[in-house]
Amino acid sequence: MSKELLLDIKDLKVHFSIAAKSAWPWAKPSNLKAVDGVDVHLYEGETLGVVGESGCGKSTFARAIIGLVEATEGQVMWLGQDLTKMQEVKRRETRKEIQMIFQDPLASLNPRMSVGDIIAEPLETFFPELSKQEVKDRVKEMMAKVGLLPNVINRYPHEFSGGQCQRIGIARALILKPKMIICDEPVSALDVSIQAQVVNLLKELQKELGLSLVFIAHDLSVVKHISDRVLVMYLGNAVELGESDALFSDPKHPYTKALMSAVPIPDPRLERNKTIQMLEGDLPSPINPPSGCVFRTRCPQATEACAQTKPTIQGDDVHAVSCLHVQV
């Protein structure tokens, strides 16, 4: 039985107009290309990992999917309907099906609301017909699912650790029984041991509830552990996309190879003898990206052709690469 296609993103672009730093009022604003043409899809029950350096457009990409930032061009197809062209009333209904977990667990929670009120808020917004007791029962049930004791329902966020606050955020995201959750670096602010607990919790909940996940992270080991497919982004562009095992065992793009070489190996002997591929130079500005291939200024394989032609991602669902010198 084939899985349902939930999300189909086609040529997604998110550009921001930046005011010129000039004393002249007629100076033209700059165009910051945060996301510059990404194609990817997501099936029911699948996890898509998204990786790349800080500033590569991962979080903007996630926010554009859910509608927190407006897409400049492209389509975000959700169950066959384009979210970017959807009326606000209809889009509001889809928010029951798409939820988000944020990077900073404490900052994403209202400090003036109790845990019970925070988790109950989505229910009260979308299902006002529920009685107070029904809401409370559902909140306690969800708290138990994410590993929170029901007797802390009246406490406030500052009374919890970072890991517990993230569990509260997960409970809030799940209370509406969504089909997809976007996880925007949900473990980056947590201790390593707590990271493992939260990632394993997400995997268990995904299996139990049939969730689809878009999982954004810097830690490639975490991404490998949780993802079915991985999207590698650089300067707003998709440079490599493929099944997790294929991409981690045999990365094709020079940028992906550099990222993978920095992943620690548990074997001390192999870790000492491995070669780390260092990237030279800094990440270019998305306001003034390089011509042609955006990675060419740091790529050891760059040629004159790379400055003239912008590569498109080529391949299939198993493995696809955006590079003039790589064939998949």
Strand partners, 230: 49, 242
Mean per-residue pLDDT for 258-267? 79
pLDDT in tens, 144-183: 999 999 899 999 999 999 889 999 999 999 999 999 999 9
In the chain, pLDDT over 70 holds for what percent of residues? 98
Q: Is a pLDDT exceeding 90 seen at residue 322?
A: yes
Helix (H, G, I), strand (E, B) or coil at 269: helix
Q: Cβ(283)–Cβ(208) under 8 Å?
A: no
Q: pTM here?
A: 0.90
Is residue 10 within 8 A of residue 85, CB to CB? The reply is no
Query: Residue 139: pLDDT band by 50, 70, 90 thresholds?
Result: very high
pLDDT at residue 273 greater than cutoff 80: no
78 band by pLDDT with thresholds 50, 70 and 90: very high
Max mean pLDDT among 42-51, 102-111, 212-221 falls in: 42-51
Name, in order, each residue with C-beta under 8 angstroms of 36's C-beta and a sequence gap of 6 or more. 13, 15, 57, 235, 236, 237, 286, 289, 294
Residue 22, pLDDT above cutoff 70: no
Pull the structure tokens for residue 77: 């197809």
**What residue ranges define each of the domains in the chain, with the CATH number in brackets?**
5-97+210-321 (3.40.50.300)
Contact yes or no for 213/187 (Cβ under 8 A): no
Task: Indicate if the pLDDT at residue 90 is higher than 50.
Answer: yes
**6 and 79 Cβ atoms separated by less than 8 Å:** yes
Query: What pLDDT shows up at residue 76?
Result: 95
The confidence score (pLDDT) of residue 1 equals 46
Give the model's pLDDT for residue 23: 62
The Cα–Cα gap between 322 and 293 comes to 9
Q: Return the pLDDT at 229.
A: 95
Summarize the confidence of residues 282-298 as an average pLDDT.
Answer: 89
pLDDT, mean of residues 106-113: 92
C-alpha–C-alpha distance, residues 236 and 281, integer Å: 18
Residue 82: is its pLDDT beyond 90?
yes
Residue 230's pLDDT is: 95
